[in-house]
């Protein structure tokens, strides 16, 4: 009997000792909580970023008008994925420009010089995620348009940037098969009560951005609701059940595993 008490006590001690990182956390970030940052002529909002505990990915949201330029820059150790949700833009690399329409995205590997120039009439809306987070981006130090700023130090490798029609997919549009080894992005359209399940490993993160409609997310700690332009940020481990909560909902999902090599 004394041995059983000692074993139960040891189990309790182990449970108490387990680090908090092993618990699943779910947070709904309202659009109004985004923090602005400036690059060139474009003001963006950082939605998911290291200040809220993100270690594997970020999520930024920008609205710009015709002719506005997001300065050319380089992420030294981060891949960048830029989605055009509304309007049009050109991805600029040096003197070259490649047009992107709503429903298309650019996957930009680490080290590649890149920027954007808005070309559509009315508001152009884009989101982007860097994996892992590029802390320098938010400081303005990468803004090559500032007076006296040095040009971006990187490369422009033909074919390195991938142009993808994400809106034509109901599922993943970036993954390791295109060179995106640090994260995978999915475009999902859900009818009301339509659902899918997704898993997060220990140390991993997941982001669910609601472009249109609404969703419910159920995890270990309960059920959470997110509306249009809200973001659900989840750290692992565990499973999530994601369901549409409007007649039709459009969601951008980002999976960032623990390993970002």
- Between CA 204 and CA 56 the distance in angstroms is 7
Q: How many of the other CB atoms lie within 10 Å of CB of 261?
A: 4
Distance CA 237, CA 199 (A): 8
CA-nearest of 115, 29, 33, 47 to 80 is 115
In this prediction, residue 235 carries a pLDDT of: 96
- In the block, residue with structure tokens 């009560």: 193
**Cβ-proximal residues to 244 (8 Å cutoff; 6+ apart), any chain:** 190, 191, 192, 193, 194, 195, 213, 214, 215
CA 18 to chain centre: 28
Whether omega for the bond prior to residue 237 falls within 30 degrees of 0, making it cis, is yes
Tell me the torsion sign for CA atoms 195, 257, 61, 80.
negative
Contacts of 193 (CB under 8 A, 6+ apart): 243, 244
| DSSP per-residue string spanning 114-182 | EEEEE-SSS-EEEEEEEES--GGGGGTTT-TTSTTPPPP--B--TT-SEEEE-TT-SEEEESGGGT--S
Residue 32 burial (CB < 10 Å; 0-12/13-18/19+)? Answer: exposed
Nearest-5° Cα angle at 48, 46 to 51? 85
Tokens 């599922």 sit on residue: 171
Tell me the C-alpha distance between 206 and 200, whole Å: 7
Which pLDDT value is given to residue 8? 42
Residue 53's SS3 state is coil
Q: Do 46 and 35 meet the contact criterion of CB atoms below 8 Å apart?
A: yes
**Do 256 and 181 touch, CB atoms closer than 8 A?**
no
Residue 255 pairs in a beta bridge with 184, 206
Walk along the chain (261 residues) and give the pLDDT tens digit of each residue.
Answer: 444 444 444 333 433 344 545 689 999 999 999 999 999 999 999 999 999 999 999 999 999 999 999 999 999 999 999 999 999 999 999 999 999 999 999 999 999 999 999 998 999 999 999 999 999 999 999 999 999 999 999 999 999 999 999 999 999 999 999 999 999 999 999 999 999 999 999 999 999 999 999 999 999 999 999 999 999 999 999 999 999 999 999 999 999 998 655
CA-angle at 41, arms to 37 and 43, nearest 5°: 30
What's the pLDDT at 3?
Answer: 44
């Amino acid at each position: 009997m004394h041995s059983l008490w000692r074993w139960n006590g040891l189990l309790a001690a182990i449970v108490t000792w387990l680090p908090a990182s092993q618990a699943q956390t779910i947070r709904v970030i309202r659009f109004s909580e985004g923090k602005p940052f400036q690059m060139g002529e474009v003001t963006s909002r950082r939605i998911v970023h290291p200040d809220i505990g993100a270690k594997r990915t970020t999520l930024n949201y920008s609205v710009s008008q015709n002719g506005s330029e997001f300065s050319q820059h380089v992420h030294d150790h981060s891949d960048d994925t830029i989605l055009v949700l509304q309007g049009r833009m050109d991805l600029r690399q040096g003197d070259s420009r490649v047009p992107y329409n709503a429903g298309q995205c650019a996957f930009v590997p680490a080290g590649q010089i890149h920027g954007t120039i808005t070309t559509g009439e009315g508001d152009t809306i884009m989101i982007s995620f860097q994996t892992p987070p590029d802390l320098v981006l938010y400081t303005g130090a990468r803004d090559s348009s500032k007076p006296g700023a040095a040009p971006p130090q990187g490369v422009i490798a033909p074919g390195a940037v991938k142009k993808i029609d994400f809106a034509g997919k109901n599922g993943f549009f970036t993954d390791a098969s295109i060179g995106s080894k640090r994260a995978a992005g999915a475009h999902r359209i859900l009818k009301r009560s339509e659902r899918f399940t997704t898993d997060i490993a220990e140390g991993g993160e997941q982001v669910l951005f609601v472009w249109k409609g609404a969703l419910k997310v159920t995890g270990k700690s309960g059920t959470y609701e997110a509306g249009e332009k809200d973001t659900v940020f989840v750290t692992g481990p565990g499973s999530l059940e994601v369901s549409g909560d409007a007649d039709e909902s459009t969601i951008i999902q980002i999976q960032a595993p623990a390993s970002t090599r």
